[in-house]
Structure 1
Amino acid sequence: MANHLMTNTLLFSLAALLAGCASPQNQPELNRLNNQVGKLNTEMRQLTRQATALEQQSSLNLNASQGAWLLPATNTAVLLKSQAGEVRLSLSHVESEANGTRATLHVRTAGDKPLPGFSAQIEWGEMDKTTGRPLQANSQTQKVSVRESLLPRSEIAIPLRLSNFTPQQLGYVRVHDIVVNTPASSPTQP
């Protein structure tokens, strides 16, 4: 609310300043200031959206012990304690594709121990515009698998294909049920 009030005050002050500079010889300067005000307004809207999404993401992850919620608008990593170990998860490159959205899931070891190979469930869907909560009724899921162990402080990027939701519709990606891969059974010798 304070940001909104500050933005309105700033814009009103700039409008008053611009009105005083409206002589014909000041027109190029006036145009430049108008462009700067437009850019500032766009940046403020983006920061407000990002702050709101970050607050929602923090709220969702506050009591989440079985997975991590990632909201694409936050650009912020989430720490998850899993069966495989502590991991830091984040999303990047959220882009449109023919069948929905593609994104990159970054998985980084958070501790000083290696992270064994694992599999995880990925769920994605929309957010309720009224409550800001995930709408799981139409959600989609897929399983991802990382075969190799990750060394401490290393990262892997997992490409995701998030079908049926455009980037504008995609409200959340949830990573859950991380399970350590078990070695394949070797044939018994006689």
Structure 2
Amino acid sequence: MRKGLFLLPLLSAALLNGCAAPPSASTRALHGEVGQLNQQVSQLTRQASALEQQNQLNSHSTQGAWLLPAANTRVELQSLAGPLMLSLTRIEAEASGTRALLTLRAAGDRPLQSLRMQVEWGELDAATSKPLSAGALSQTIEVRNALLPKSEQPVPLRLSGLPPEQVGYVRIHDVEPLTPGQNASSAAQDVSSPAGQNAASAAGQHASPTVAP
């Protein structure tokens, strides 16, 4: 009996030591996977919320298309120049604000001629997730390359004044074809050539305020 009583403290100490032992490599790996899954779920939740808001904005829009960076989804626009698919990618910080890549895709079966469009960007209200008209900026961009059916045209954007985390939306509107003899607007940025793409940053810095409807 005394021998059994003597072994009890030893067993208790062994159990305590086992509880205090550091987690094994497999346990740490499992915790890491759980953390990654939680991050992915949070990201998908934010994307789903942004996509719902983007769909609501476009369903109530009578002119132009809304692109929310967080939605990361293409939007179709029926414009005077023809049907377009729009997507926004490569959103990165730069000295004057944010740069991004707007991709235009001819959505119909006919080629689209050169076009001009207005690009507006701004913040979303933190409480309502609605676009804030105060402080919104815009610029005119001209694309002087014909778009063949199903082909794409990358358009570099310089969204001045806001860092990437504050760019809540980009709105493309007033898309219209350019006639062959039409002169380029002095205020517009031609992005159909490498020189025009490199000069887009200057155009962004001179963007003028606008008010979203």
The alignment's TM-score, normalised by the length of structure 2, stands at 0.74
Q: Give the drift of 1:78.
A: 0.3
Per mean C-alpha deviation after superposition, the further-off stretch among 155-164 and 27-36 is 27-36
Aligned pair 1:181/2:175, yes or no?
no
Q: Name the structure 2 match of 1:133.
A: 130
Letter in 2 for 1:99: S
Q: Name the structure 2 match of 1:48.
A: 45
Give, in whole Å, the separation in 2 of the partners of 1:171 and 1:52: 13
Aligned pair 1:100/2:136, yes or no?
no
SS of 2:71 mapped into structure 1: coil
**Residue 142 of structure 1, aligned match among 139, 147, 152:** 139
Aligned pair 1:120/2:138, yes or no?
no
Give, in whole Å, the separation in 1 of the partners of 2:151 and 2:86: 12
1:19-46 Cα shifts (integer Å, max 9, x gaps): xx96737522221111111111111110
**Contact 1:78 1:88 (8 Å CA) reproduced:** yes
Q: Percent identity?
A: 50
Give, in whole Å, the separation in 1 of the partners of 2:81 and 2:151: 14
SS of 1:115 mapped into structure 2: coil
Q: Name the structure 2 match of 1:164.
A: 161
Give, in whole Å, the separation in 2 of the partners of 1:149 and 1:128: 37
Q: Name the structure 2 match of 1:155.
A: 152
Please list every run of 5 or more consecutive structure 1 residues that lacks an aligned counterpart in the other structure: 1-20
C-alpha spacing 1:156/1:66, structure 2 compared with 1 (3 Å): same
Aligned Cα root-mean-square deviation (Å):
1.7
Letter in 1 for 2:85: R
1:88-113 Cα shifts (integer Å, max 9, x gaps): 00101000111110000000000101
Q: Give the drift of 1:149.
A: 1.2
Q: Name the structure 2 match of 1:90.
A: 87
| Runs of 4+ more than 6 Å apart | none
Q: Name the structure 2 match of 1:76.
A: 73
Give, in whole Å, the separation in 2 of the partners of 1:93 and 1:160: 10
SS of 1:73 mapped into structure 2: coil
Please list every run of 5 or more consecutive structure 2 residues that lacks an aligned counterpart in the other structure: 1-17, 184-213
**Contact 1:22 1:30 (8 Å CA) reproduced:** no
Letter in 2 for 1:74: A
Q: Name the structure 2 match of 1:18.
A: none
SS of 1:54 mapped into structure 2: helix
Give, in whole Å, the separation in 1 of the partners of 2:182 and 2:78: 28
SS of 1:165 mapped into structure 2: coil
Structure with greater strand percent: 1
Give, in whole Å, the separation in 2 of the partners of 1:149 and 1:123: 23
User: Which of these two proteins has the greater Rg computed from alpha carbons?
Assistant: 2
Q: Give the drift of 1:185.
A: 6.4
The alignment's TM-score, normalised by the length of structure 1, stands at 0.83
Aligned pair 1:33/2:41, yes or no?
no
